[in-house]
Chains A and B, each alone.
Chain A
């Protein structure tokens, strides 16, 4: 923080230098100009008559969605079960593949900083940068529609999530405990088993349950691109304009997600 000598002989104490103040004002001005410019571009592509009409349209849609056609529920149990399985198996596969990637990526456990670590980080980044829905889209194209494509899509996205959070946990372990294990003459694998594993166990359990919870939500939409589960039914009903069925599906998805969040919150509370 700058101090400025005053003519009176005192030292003024300011938060920023005059130059920094000017620069910040200029920055804000640029920001405002950018917003105005973006508004212009957005306006050019919007058909405002449709927007004015939106409340009427929404009301109309809601009217067609009501009353819900509850009879469709009996057709939903099986796809819901598929959705749950897709999330659970996908998470399990993601854990199995993500854990070794985390150990390769962590500075503290990687066998080679020059080769293994960059490769593991690349795997994590590529898995994280692509949404499950896009993974599913690719996989359905490659291996045809069905639950298997969904499971693999979920797993591929989970590798990055689990790998990243776990490798950060591995890098934040207490080095003293590791040093003590090393000093006993333990081998590399034993250092991991006794030094690292006990330290990351709570984090690992928390991450896995959290990812399972996210995956349940994601797997409900994977059907939209043909990867099985309740999303497939949803897509079919929307295509047939069977809005009363769509209402029932929304309720079913909402209940499933609520239950999964409750379960994962309970499990995490039990571990931590």
Chain B
């Protein structure tokens, strides 16, 4: 389904965000991409739909290349890839319905979209998706009137109405509370199963990822350092992805204790001087 070969991105500042990434995601698989901030997770999914232009490498969706396309061909390729964003990225001053239907922009002409005259089939599908994602009756609300969880559902509807083969999901739960995060993840899992979609989900919350996905890929400094089932993710592999940290407990480590002792000493000295 998605096939990435030797994907490399070097930013103009000289930072190498991706360094020869090879990745295959089959149809129907929900894959979590984990890694520390700055590991290249966002860059990777943005290179797939070319919101970021890769420096080298190849991206294929459904056997046809995405890299090297331009103009209309690139737009047609983007229609097949739905994207969901961390802070929802809804057009705040448009209604829920307008936001959802904007997912069809790649299919309708300019005047039809400007006059909001979408084909009846698109409108039917929009109503169906709004209902499916638990937003029934909200189609006329403006996006800036919704809560975080509702906005993310609108974002999901916008991606799904594109009739995508692949979902690119960038930190879908980073701005949501724990309960809403789980609801959104569950919705994503169900929808991928329903529609047999491939999906890449960038996610910070490793525990949440382990709970919902079938496969986890760990990225560190632009390279894949782990690729396997959620159960295979051990303390050692987490360390190899994120660096040294005690993964099992939140009790104070030796280092913390040292810091604390030092802080206490300084406080005592200050008190003595004040006297």
Interface residue ranges, A against B (CB under 8 Å): 174, 176-177, 179-187, 189-190, 193-195, 198-199, 201-202
| A189 and B79 contact, CB distance less than 8 A | no
| B91 and A184 contact, CB distance less than 8 A | no
| B87 and A176 contact, CB distance less than 8 A | yes
CA distance A181 to B82 in the complex (A): 11
Task: Kindly list chain A residues whose C-beta atoms are within 8 Å of the C-beta of B102.
Answer: 181, 184, 186, 194
- Known A194-B94, A201-B93: A184·B87 in contact at CB below 8 Å: no
CA distance A226 to B18 in the complex (A): 67
- Known A190-B110, A201-B93: A185·B51 in contact at CB below 8 Å: no
Chain B interface SS verdict (over half): mixed
| B105 and A183 contact, CB distance less than 8 A | no
CA distance A48 to B98 in the complex (A): 71
Task: Kindly list chain A residues whose C-beta atoms are within 8 Å of the C-beta of B212.
Answer: none
Besides the known contacts A177-B90, A185-B107, A186-B102, 20 further A-B residue pairs in the complex with CB atoms under 8 A apart: A179-B89, A181-B102, A183-B49, A183-B78, A184-B78, A184-B102, A184-B162, A185-B75, A185-B78, A185-B79, A185-B105, A185-B162, A186-B75, A186-B106, A187-B110, A190-B110, A194-B94, A198-B91, A201-B93, A202-B93
Task: Kindly list chain A residues whose C-beta atoms are within 8 Å of the C-beta of B113.
Answer: 190, 193-194
Task: Kindly list chain B residues whose C-beta atoms are within 8 Å of the C-beta of A199.
Answer: 91-93
| B106 and A181 contact, CB distance less than 8 A | no
Task: Kindly list chain B residues whose C-beta atoms are within 8 Å of the C-beta of A202.
Answer: 93
| A187 and B87 contact, CB distance less than 8 A | no
CB A91 to nearest CB in B, in angstroms, measures 24
Interface size of B as a range: 20 to 34
CA distance A13 to B153 in the complex (A): 55
Across the two chains, which residue of chain B brings its CB closest to A194? B102
**A–B complex contacts, Cβ < 8 Å, 9 sampled:** A179-B85, A180-B83, A180-B89, A181-B105, A184-B105, A185-B79, A186-B106, A198-B94, A202-B93
Report B162-190 CB contacts with A as 1/0, cut-off 8 Å.
10000010000000000000000000000
User: Which of B83, B85, B110, B162 sits near A193, CB closer than 8 Å?
Assistant: B110
Task: Kindly list chain B residues whose C-beta atoms are within 8 Å of the C-beta of A174.
Answer: 92
- Most chain B CB within a 10 A radius of its CB, from A174, A187, A202: A187
User: Which of A177, A182, A185, A186 sits near B92, CB closer than 8 Å?
Assistant: A177
Q: Which residues 113-136 of B have a CB within 8 angstroms of A?
A: 113-114
- Known A193-B113, A193-B114: A186·B105 in contact at CB below 8 Å: yes
Task: Kindly list chain B residues whose C-beta atoms are within 8 Å of the C-beta of A179.
Answer: 51, 85, 89
B76 within 8 A of A: yes
CB A200 to nearest CB in B, in angstroms, measures 10
Task: Kindly list chain B residues whose C-beta atoms are within 8 Å of the C-beta of A190.
Answer: 105, 110, 113
Can you list the 10 inter-chain pairs with the closest CB atoms, starting with the nearest?
A185-B106, A186-B105, A180-B89, A185-B78, A185-B79, A183-B83, A198-B93, A176-B89, A185-B75, A189-B110
CA distance A187 to B75 in the complex (A): 7
| A194 and B91 contact, CB distance less than 8 A | yes
